[in-house]
Structure 1
């Protein structure tokens, strides 16, 4: 059975993109031009374009046209996965820039989330995380100081999870995650090279060892246009 015309057009445009006719960030021809090229009505052409937008292959920019979208980094929201491993799995080069790094007394929230004793100290660090040198997120991570005191700053800031697994011999477990939408503040916009008011995905996460002990409380703000979460049941 032959596919509907709009699906055929969808497939044709997708193949053209994959073949390199239009690169990431390129503006594709207008709907009027494409409707003439394919010999179809504007309505049919628009339906084909919308399917590509829904799939994240194209993106519409108000007042500017339709562009080949950047592929968003995805994080499967199950278990604990390091940012470094997520990037490497998608063929991207992970890196980070440490904004602040210090040992301090925990806030009430940190104390509660990490189930800390009265005299416990925490390591609190702020980092910008990059994929192929493009800023993806700004992260504030808090971990019990006693858990990481034997490791160097580079070992902790480059990939905390890998260090805990490979050098401390710990087994990571699951995580409690909450995602909300918000807009970028002036500071976040400056750190992540976006505009103030741009959409941000905010993740709050408590990470656990396999034993059930919480070892990290992290608050991360992701650039909405560069990162997406997906759920798997």
Structure 2
């Protein structure tokens, strides 16, 4: 069981988060607070694994609150202002949700956070350990692929085609969901049911399409658009 708290100075918003949390068997809501000062006193007494915190609160904002903690829990920020996203990720937020928050968006954020930061025993995992390469079986051979060389991965039913920076593509028997398990989440993102992109290789975006080599257009589908927009928000100069 993952112990969590919720913080929001708006009573209706707080009630909504409480209701959403109650629908998850893995989440145990220890307390709800209308300001960060009360939450701080609670954190000094209790072990909390995850908190949902509003950013724009009086006296002490959600950002200031998290920065003040020596060993903060994982945090999912909630906010009515998308422009706070970049600052949220700078302090290692697990995710952020823009109000009004639908249950679908909340559920997706929680599922992503639990799978990334907590193992099956609900213990925090170290996400700093990153793979640098993979071995892939192709054409009766096993070849090593450096992750930095991958531009994007194309799904083709039961096969994937790995497109590399300076070599010809490599095809192997594997589905998109399986290969995602081996890729670091901070470097690779699924943007379409048929495409995974290396975020470090993105140079041009046009009309919800990522352009590689000037003539390869990778569509960003509606299913993955919100996650991709969050990535852009954290790197966009304003």
Question: Larger radius of gyration, structure 1 or 2?
Answer: 1
Alignment TM-score > 0.5, same fold? no
Structure 1 length-normalised TM: 0.27
